[in-house]
Amino acid sequence: MSEQQTVDAGARRVPTSEPVIDLIAGRWSPRAFSDATVSDATLAAGLEAARLAPSAYNSQPWRFIVGRRGGHVFDRILAHLIPFNQGWARDAAALVLNVAVIEADGRKAPLALYDLGLAVQSLVLQLQASDVASHQISGIDPDALDSEFGLGAGELAGLHAVTVTVIGVPGDPAQLDAGTRERETAPRERLPLDELVLLAD
């Protein structure tokens, strides 16, 4: 029997000019997931971390629909991913649909997506602290997801599906097709810091 090979997380690290905390430096977005489950407590801690995120006027314009592999909600989210994402995300332990409150009390909330992103990053880092990986995807059909879960109408008026967080324990890249496997192990690239900081004193 062959042993499962997981990607060496250390080798996936992006070199940095200054030391960065492990939680951030050690995060990356896998597409190969093992069949390990993620405990209720770990997932709940991730959602609690999202809850604590900052937001404009403390409006907290984030909502989550949580599906666990084997469950009906998981399958309903999975059905509306683009085929490429379906191909690998079906093996994940959980799929979280990230929903923004883009309109409240008849007023547009232009910062809702910004706030949702902050909340999702808190979820990601809390999970990472338990060695559970996440992968953001926008390759979804947001309108179909809105219809699937009744977002944007009735009690859920003003809510809109934005992204999905794919969650699980990293698995063996051998389970991926050749093209996806290559991306799984390719070096992670980032712009240099001096291109990002436009002005500083």
Ligand X SMILES: Cc1cc2nc3c(=O)[nH]c(=O)nc-3n(C[C@H](O)[C@H](O)[C@H](O)COP(=O)(O)O)c2cc1C
Q: Which residues bind ligand X (CB under 6 A)?
A: 28-29, 85, 136-139, 163, 188
CB of 136 to ligand X, least distance (A): 4
Strand partners for 108: 103
**Quick one: 26 or 152, whose CB is closer to ligand X?**
26
**Quick one: 114 or 153, whose CB is closer to ligand X?**
114
CB of 192 to ligand X, least distance (A): 16
CB of 25 to ligand X, least distance (A): 11
Dist CA 67 CA 132 (whole Å): 16
**Quick one: 178 or 199, whose CB is closer to ligand X?**
178
CB of 88 to ligand X, least distance (A): 7
Strand partners for 99: 63, 161
Orientation of helix 40-51 relative to helix 112-128, angle to 10°? 140
Dump the DSSP string for 87-150. Answer: HHHTTSSEEEEEEEE-EETTEE-TTHHHHHHHHHHHHHHHHHTTT-EEEEE--B-HHHHHHHHT
**Quick one: 116 or 159, whose CB is closer to ligand X?**
116
Residue closest to ligand X when measured from CB atoms = 139
